[in-house]
Amino acid sequence: MSDRSPLHNARFAYLPKTPETYAAPVALIKAVPTEIIEPSYDKEALKKIFTHSYGKPAVKFVAGAGASAPRAMAIGVLLSGGPAPGGHNVIAGLFDGLKKGSPESRLIGFKGGPGGLVDDKYIEITAELVDSYRNTGGFDMVGSGRTKIETPEQFEKALANALAHKLDALVVVGGDDSNTNAALLAEYFASHGAPIAVVGVPKTIDGDLKNEWIETSFGFDTATKTYAELIGNICRDAPSGRKYWHFIRLMGRSASHIALECALQTRPNVALISEEIEEKRMSLSQIVETIVSSVAARAAKGENYGIVLIPEGLIEFVPEMKVLIESINDLLAHEAEAFKALPSVEAQKAFIAGRLPSESAALFNSLPGEISAQLCWDRDPHGNVQVSRIETEKLLVAMVRTRLAALAAEGSYKGKFDYQTHFMGYEGRCAFPTNFDADYCYSLGFTAYLLALYGFSGYIASIRNLAAPAGEWIPGGIPLVSMMNIEHRHGADKPVIRKALVELDGKPFAAFAAQRDKWALSSDYRLPGAIQYFGPPAVTDMPSLILQIERS
């Protein structure tokens, strides 16, 4: 008898919905090239780097006799970066496509991400293994990793191992950095005459891997609905207890898509959007005033409670903080050894403050002690501040309390301010995928197989028309290089896939901006409730509100 939960067992039996085209035998699915897609930036530089990949057309899959007869193939797959709900269904869709094309086909999973390809750590993925992971969260079927394939030795080993396994294709499931790596691998394989297609799949809960062709990355739907449920629970608790302001920091390293979606889902009193703060060049004190105005106005109504949503990467978008962080990074890059030798955090803080430009030093000294300490402690492998570990919610609480105390001393604020802080991140990365993500990921995996079958190397799987029922989705692929530009990273110009930030002139942000002044005073929160897997499609299958608004 299985010790899994009833829901776990029920999800194994779920049959993902797919584009109508995919109901046909593989031999009756046709690849149709469409328009040539070029990158929006740095065309000439990218053309020189990607001589074998540049200038290729988009492709869509339609009903019709295919040009390539299904054949036995060997495909490798790896999961790269942080987990996102639905990754196992990408593998399931890829596996089922392979076996539908030919029962003799093989799927090899490289363990621990790109490092597994370089070090040749792998498992054979079988029907029994796939069946034990269908429609479930996590990346534990083969594991993931954050190794970047970037040295000549790593590229050589990756190619040698792919050839040793007689791979026809390699599927890379990941975010912007991982798919940048996929593009470079495709170019390297082609430049060495290796007939191995490299295909990407768009994964990230942050939602920042998107464009006209990639309408959303997988995992975003599930993660945001998981967070929105928890926020909704807090939204119900706040007016029940009537004594706390809840400051909730949400995962999303660079872009604020998660914060925006959760705001649309729950209607908090304040939701900060990093991209707007950077665009308006808002200072920390201006951000605090935004929160304080809602706190004071609600206190005047006797409502000493509320909800504030804060994107994880906010602090790096505040101009003065961005300058401070860059100054600290630059300082410690040149004086790392002296800094490490200091005996205490207080000594480290004094070391930094004494060497910063005057304005940055004043800001650094004004920060709460635990925040300035976090700026000292947490460094990434390149020596930079790990912004995602800075507890911005606690910084804002401290500054709001100070400002409210000043207003109370003036007699203009007579409320009571107490608070709770929260960080929501890992709770959403491995959740059971929503029906939308289960369907979407399965179709992405099947699409990756078709791209491999037709030899479309350097492409990323694309499913369009996602706001419609799954049967009406339009599967295909676009060249990875079309999503890239050149950025200066770690002292060198490098080709990278551009992160898609919240568009301030886009429809989702406009929908939020039109309502937020009302939400600031209101206790009419939206309570989305738990993710539903069984019931009417209007409850179980709806995609994110951002996607619905964008495609309306």
3-state secondary structure labels for all residues of 258-275: HHHHHHHHHCCCEECCHH
As a whole number of angstroms, the distance between CA 452 and CA 46 comes to 23
Final residue before a domain boundary, out of 472, 497, 522: 497
In this structure, the answer to whether residues 254 and 125 fall within a common structural domain is: no
In this structure, the answer to whether residues 172 and 25 fall within a common structural domain is: yes
- In terms of phi and psi (left: phi > 0; alpha: psi -120 to 50; beta: otherwise), the region of 39 is beta
Contact 483, 208 (CB under 8 A): no
Please list the alpha-helical segments (H only) found in 165-215.
176-191
In this structure, the answer to whether residues 258 and 310 fall within a common structural domain is: yes
115 in a structural domain: yes
Contact 43, 4 (CB under 8 A): no
Identify which of 252, 174, 184, 251 has the alpha carbon closest to the alpha carbon of residue 214.
Answer: 174
67 in a structural domain: yes
Identify which of 499, 74, 542 has the alpha carbon closest to the alpha carbon of residue 275.
Answer: 499
- Which two three-digit tokens encode residue 259? 């914060």
Give me the pLDDT at residue 426, please.
94
Give me the pLDDT at residue 355, please.
92
In this structure, the answer to whether residues 104 and 64 fall within a common structural domain is: yes
Count of domains observed in the chain: 2
Contacting residues for 3 by C-beta, under 8 A, at least 6 apart:
none
CA 153 to chain centre: 29
527 in a structural domain: yes
- Which two three-digit tokens encode residue 25? 């035998």
Give me the pLDDT at residue 378, please.
62
Give me the pLDDT at residue 380, please.
64
Give me the pLDDT at residue 1, please.
39
- Which two three-digit tokens encode residue 151? 């040295």
As a whole number of angstroms, the distance between CA 178 and CA 173 comes to 7
As a whole number of angstroms, the distance between CA 429 and CA 215 comes to 20
1 in a structural domain: no
In this structure, the answer to whether residues 189 and 48 fall within a common structural domain is: yes
Give 448-506 as a DSSP string. HHHHHHTT-TTEEEEEE-TTS-GGG-EEEEEEGGGGEEEEEETTEEEEEEPP-PPPTTS
Query: Which pLDDT tens digits describe the chain residue by residue (552 residues)?
Result: 368 899 999 999 999 999 999 999 999 999 999 999 999 999 999 999 999 999 999 999 999 988 777 899 999 999 999 999 999 999 999 999 999 999 999 999 999 999 999 999 999 999 999 999 999 999 999 999 999 999 999 999 999 999 999 999 999 999 999 999 999 999 999 999 999 999 999 999 999 999 999 999 999 999 999 999 999 999 999 999 999 999 999 998 889 999 999 999 999 999 999 999 999 999 999 999 999 999 999 999 999 999 999 999 999 999 999 999 989 988 888 888 898 899 999 999 999 999 999 999 999 999 988 898 888 876 666 566 777 788 999 999 999 999 999 999 999 999 999 999 999 999 999 999 999 999 999 999 999 999 999 999 999 999 999 999 999 999 999 999 999 999 987 678 999 999 999 999 999 999 999 999 999 999 999 999 999 999 999 999 999 999 999 998
In this structure, the answer to whether residues 471 and 420 fall within a common structural domain is: no
Final residue before a domain boundary, out of 452, 467, 497: 497
In this structure, the answer to whether residues 441 and 403 fall within a common structural domain is: no
Contacting residues for 552 by C-beta, under 8 A, at least 6 apart:
467, 507
Please, how many CA atoms are within 13 Å of residue 259, restricted to the half-sphere of its CB?
A: 30
Q: Strand pairing partners for 493?
A: 488
Count of residues in the chain? 552
User: Could you list the residue range(s) of the whole structural domain that residue 386 is in?
Assistant: 223-424+507-550
Contact 204, 90 (CB under 8 A): no
Question: 385: which DSSP letter?
Answer: B
For residue 34, with 0-12 CB atoms within 10 Å meaning exposed, 13-18 middle and 19 or more buried, which class applies? exposed
- Which two three-digit tokens encode residue 423? 């960080």
Give me the pLDDT at residue 381, please.
60
Please list the alpha-helical segments (H only) found in 50-113.
87-101
Give me the pLDDT at residue 329, please.
87
In this structure, the answer to whether residues 196 and 329 fall within a common structural domain is: no
Q: What is the CATH number of the domain that holds 363?
A: 3.40.50.460
Give the Å distances, CA to CA, from 316 to 365, 452, 504. 18, 39, 18
In this structure, the answer to whether residues 518 and 417 fall within a common structural domain is: yes
Give me the pLDDT at residue 488, please.
82
Amino acid at 529: G
| Count of beta carbons in the 10 Å neighbourhood of residue 509 | 21
In this structure, the answer to whether residues 296 and 417 fall within a common structural domain is: yes
Out of 206, 208, 221, 541, which one is annotated catalytic? 206
> Could you confirm whether 206 is annotated as catalytic?
yes
Q: Strand pairing partners for 185?
A: none
Contact 288, 417 (CB under 8 A): no
404 in a structural domain: yes
Given the DSSP bridges, would you call strands 169-174 and 144-145 parallel, antiparallel or unpaired? Answer: unpaired
Contact 416, 197 (CB under 8 A): no
Handedness of CA 202, 208, 214, 215 (dihedral sign): positive
As a whole number of angstroms, the distance between CA 62 and CA 476 comes to 9
- In terms of phi and psi (left: phi > 0; alpha: psi -120 to 50; beta: otherwise), the region of 15 is beta
3-state helix, strand, coil in the chain (%, to 5): 45, 15, 35
Assign 430 to helix, strand or coil: coil
Identify which of 27, 29, 136 has the alpha carbon closest to the alpha carbon of residue 91.
Answer: 136
Identify which of 255, 271, 145, 263 has the alpha carbon closest to the alpha carbon of residue 206.
Answer: 255
79 in a structural domain: yes
Helices (H) and strands (E) in the chain, counts: 23, 16
502 in a structural domain: no
pTM of the model: 0.95
Query: In degrees rounded to 5, what are phi and psi of residue 382?
Result: -95, 5
145-148 long-range contacts (CB < 8 A, ≥24 apart) are: 145/80, 145/112, 145/113, 145/114, 145/115, 145/116, 146/80, 146/81, 146/113, 147/112, 147/113, 147/114, 147/115, 147/118, 148/114, 148/177, 148/181
278 in a structural domain: yes
Token look-up 């990754």 returns: 87
Contact 452, 7 (CB under 8 A): no
- Which two three-digit tokens encode residue 422? 């929260």
Q: What is the CATH number of the domain that holds 196?
A: 3.40.50.450
In this structure, the answer to whether residues 256 and 298 fall within a common structural domain is: yes
Token look-up 């738990």 returns: 530
Please list the alpha-helical segments (H only) found in 242-367.
257-266, 274-279, 284-300, 319-334, 336-340, 345-353, 358-366
Contacting residues for 153 by C-beta, under 8 A, at least 6 apart:
none
In this structure, the answer to whether residues 383 and 481 fall within a common structural domain is: no
As a whole number of angstroms, the distance between CA 349 and CA 87 comes to 42
